[in-house]
Amino acid sequence: MKILVTGGSGFVGSRLVESLSQLGHEIINLDIESPKNKTNSVFLQCDITDYNQLKKVAEENLAGTEIVYHLAGMSREADSMKMPDVYYKVNVNGTFNVLDISRIIGVKKFIFASTFLVYGNPEYSPLDEGHPTNPKTIYSSSKLCGEIMCRSFQETYGMPTVCFRKSVIYGKDDPHKRIVTLFIERARDGKDLTVFGNKSLDFVYIGDVISAYVSVLGSKETGIFNIGSGEPITLMELANVTRDKINPRINIIEEGLRQGEITKFSPDISKARSLLGFNPKQDLKKFIESCI
């Protein structure tokens, strides 16, 4: 099967490219940045915000593509508040461009990387996919726009789409240094850990996320799915576990919430379990222990 992965040079994308390649598929990685490691895939350098460039690349290289995983985008919440124009250009205009090119070349399924942050603060918990959306930041609102466009393309053109609202991802060699990686690295370096508001969040291992992405290949299901562990933890507990396991000599400093941050997220992942066979296996605390 010929599969396109946009953002295939990134933390999640590179692992998805590798997993799909190992399954014997023909993989094309379309990204603005070259992959850091060699993979059994074709790399196409392209800016998804440039529609004409993307169309030209598609005409020359993407005929026969059956599946598109759209992972390319900007993903730092704090940065989105400082650069709203850039985030909307990449995450909204760029997503439209990839969707439209996918329509033109006759893609059979389009999978979009969204985020749990589209929910905002919960009205009930755990949150299922029917929970109201109320994004608090430019980043999360841009992702919700992407979801809406996916639904519109499915309704209008009959192109099946899947949207994954992923929890906070963690794993080794995370270049974005999300909070699990950040805490572990700071503890190793003997630096104090700062908790900005004692939020309760759900964390999901990179390997479990990849298994969810792969699961849609053999499924006819479409729509929105929560992808997480289903076992939320407070940031204070996460900090304490990290300190106790890695460096008991450091301190934990608690400060207030930052702009746009939510206080709680606990996902209901039963839909992904039942319809996609999603079964998260990695335990967060055991992962921290493995990093000692």
Q: Which residues contact 156 (CB under 8 A, 6 or more apart)?
A: none
Query: Is the CA virtual torsion 126, 146, 204, 235 positive or negative?
Result: negative
Distance separating alpha carbons of residues 264 and 127, to the nearest angstrom: 10
Cα radius of gyration rounded to whole Å, the chain: 19
> E strand or H helix at 102, and its extent?
helix 94-105
Render the burial of 16-38: b for 16+ CB within 10 Å, e for the rest: bbbbbbeeebbbbbbbbeebeee
205 is catalytic: no
> At 164, is the secondary structure helix, strand, or coil?
strand
Confirm if 209 and 12 have CB atoms less than 8 A apart.
yes
Give one word for 108, left, alpha or beta, with left for phi > 0 and alpha for psi -120 to 50.
alpha
Which listed residue (69, 87, 88, 139) is catalytic?
A: 139
Catalytic amino acids?
A: 139
